[in-house]
Structure 1
Amino acid sequence: MDFSKVLAEAMLKRQAFFAKAKLNNTDCYRVFHGTVEGANGLNIDRYGDAWLVQSFHDTLNEDQLKQITHVLAQHGDYFVVYNDRSQKNSRVANNLVNEAQDYAMSEQVMHENGIAFTTKLRHEGQDPLLFLDMRIGREYMQKHSHNKAVLNLFSYTCGIGTAAAVGGAKRVMNVDFSSFALAAGQKNAALNKVESVCEFVQSDAFPALRQLAGLPVGGRRNQKLPKFPKLAKTTFDLVFLDPPRFAKSVFGVVDLINDYQGLFKPAMLTTKAGGTIVCCNNVAKVERQSWLDSLVRCVEKQGRKIINIEWLDCYQDFPSFDDNHPLKIVALTID
């Protein structure tokens, strides 16, 4: 397949978006979303001074990569890094040459709305340290965090927490199981000089959440529990819940299709009266209204009520079929 035409069309559609991004000091965004724009399984992003080309279904051949590089060069003379992730488990399978390899393996800095974030296009994990479709979530947190205590769950590299701190939060607790991700989060805090308000808790989400909510910590099938950080019961003004689709540990199972409430309930209990919990679900097959209805029922079962509902929709650099984006984000203010 010749990708030149569909990529050029996608770039043309984004011209107004690109101009606005430049004004807002944003140099990281999606330039081609193949599933919707004509090449299923091919995504192309800008990360600072690099174009990141990723194929998830089929390996690009040399001619196809040249076609893509030619179109991209018309929009910016940046490094082109190609990550072939078409193999099992979506791991990067290909080698790069010369400068592109050195660049991809080194830490770089990019910006979103003036906030600096560390990025690395190839590392021990899989993704480049910041999920670009979550931009609307980071903007919401920056806008609504002033003088608030913030809990950022499944924080990954703490982009949400960093945005909240830059927005003037008085306290930000980032919780994630990965020491690698939290180390990147600490760099993000340092880049933006907000280390003084940011905390980094390396923990399974279940024991962390249950302790913060004042609930007992248990395990699956009475398994022996490993050690975990001890946390005091605490409530927060603003809670961000962005779990992975599925994960399993001795403490519990994360399942966004069948049991979102298992995480939502303790997270909601950590949310102060009048506070807001922002919930994310990235599973395409989950219908957004039925998911919202399940959250409302869970709140009401706890004798509380939702006083405001705000959907946060992804930006136009991430187009979707019929405006039904797989990533659903809703902010619930709870009394």
Structure 2
Amino acid sequence: MQALLNVVSQITLSEDVQRVFHGRGGLYPGSEQWSLDWFAPVWVLTSFKPVNDAELAQFHIALEARWQAVAPGVPLNWVFQSRVPGEAETRLMAGSVPEPHVVTEQGARYIVHLMRGQNHGLFLDMAVGREWLKNHALHENILNLFAYTCAFSVVALQGGAAQVVNLDMSQAALAVGQQNHRLNDLPAKARFLGHDIFKTWGKISKMGPYGVIVIDPPSYQKGSFIATKDYIKLIRRLPDLLEPQGHVLLCLNAPELDSQFLHSQVAEAAPSLKFVERLANPVAFADIDPEKSLKVLHYQKLE
């Protein structure tokens, strides 16, 4: 835990959301269980192993001391989240959490829910992917698969997209996505489809072809998507959905599956797609083994 406490002692404040400590990357031996995120004005400490009260108290003392130095007179707000299988919990440890809770990233605003479930509404490790899309969205028709709360759609429209089609099985997540669009005063150029992707190809095709497609699925979600058997079904559809010279981002956040997993599936199911680059992850998410971290692969249709 000492590496985490060392980072806490050097915290500086940022208006944007950010990962402050990423123990899971393996660069801090002995602190692999910990991550610390800033969702202004709330800190979120996450542990992937059981934690005792003494450890939480030690963290609180360190955070409170640093907070008084960088934000004197401002209440300290922090939340603890346990990600231990079978013992998952989220606990408010100090202060309060705004409701609604609106955070910012690279000029965009998003609603997050720190006290509900394990996912907060914005995946911080995808920041570079969002920036890439914003820079490649101008005048494009964009398909956002597994849209979740539609952060990709927000930045695409900020980047001048002609249209964004957001598709996700979760109506609740899409409802937050619609709130995010209103929050950013975006033009009414987004569609929100709460459907099973594998049963919606006809509708998806009719709204195409697409200049950019983003595929950011869960790696394993029973009844929805299992990467090892379902990803290739998506890849097989891409040549027919993409415009000539169209782009696709294939995203995968599964430590047990490396980049070659996606490369092999593209070679088999969509050989007309050419690999362009793997997007870098945010510096804060550095990993001793990059193949165990988030993979975001950029491909382009050849013809």
Partner of 1:241: 215
Partner of 2:236: 265
Partner of 1:7: 5
Q: Does structure 2 retain, via aligned residues, the 8 Å contact 1:148–1:237?
A: yes
Post-superposition offset of 1:120: 2.0
Q: Deviations over 1:126-180 (max 9, x none)?
A: 2111000000110011000001111101011001111111111010111111121
**SS of 1:88 mapped into structure 2:** coil
Q: Does structure 2 retain, via aligned residues, the 8 Å contact 1:210–1:266?
A: no
Partner of 1:224: none
What is the rounded CA distance, in whole Å, between the counterparts of 1:273 and 1:133 in structure 2? 30
The size of the alignment, in residue pairs, is 294
**SS of 1:27 mapped into structure 2:** coil
Partner of 2:296: 329
Partner of 2:196: 204
TM-score w.r.t. the length of structure 2 is 0.87
Corresponding residue to 2:106 among 90, 109, 113: 113
What is the rounded CA distance, in whole Å, between the counterparts of 1:78 and 1:279 in structure 2? 41
Partner of 1:292: 263
Partner of 2:46: 54
Bigger relative CO (Cα 8 Å, ≥ 6 apart): 2
Q: Using a 3 Å threshold, how does the CA distance of structure 1 residues 169 and 44 change in structure 2: closer, same or farther?
A: same
Corresponding residue to 1:319 among 269, 286, 292: 286
What is the rounded CA distance, in whole Å, between the counterparts of 1:6 and 1:263 in structure 2? 40
Corresponding residue to 1:275 among 246, 255, 259: 246
TM-score w.r.t. the length of structure 1 is 0.79
One-letter amino acid of the structure 1 residue matched with residue 295 of structure 2: K
Q: Using a 3 Å threshold, how does the CA distance of structure 1 residues 332 and 11 change in structure 2: closer, same or farther?
A: farther
**SS of 2:135 mapped into structure 1:** helix
Give % identity. 24
Q: Using a 3 Å threshold, how does the CA distance of structure 1 residues 60 and 204 change in structure 2: closer, same or farther?
A: farther
Structure 2 gaps of 5+ residues are none
What is the rounded CA distance, in whole Å, between the counterparts of 1:287 and 1:255 in structure 2? 15
- 1:118-157 equivalences under 5 Å are 118-123=111-116, 125-157=117-149
Q: Using a 3 Å threshold, how does the CA distance of structure 1 residues 133 and 317 change in structure 2: closer, same or farther?
A: same
Cα root mean square deviation, aligned: 2.5
What is the rounded CA distance, in whole Å, between the counterparts of 1:309 and 1:78 in structure 2? 47
Q: Does structure 2 retain, via aligned residues, the 8 Å contact 1:11–1:31?
A: no
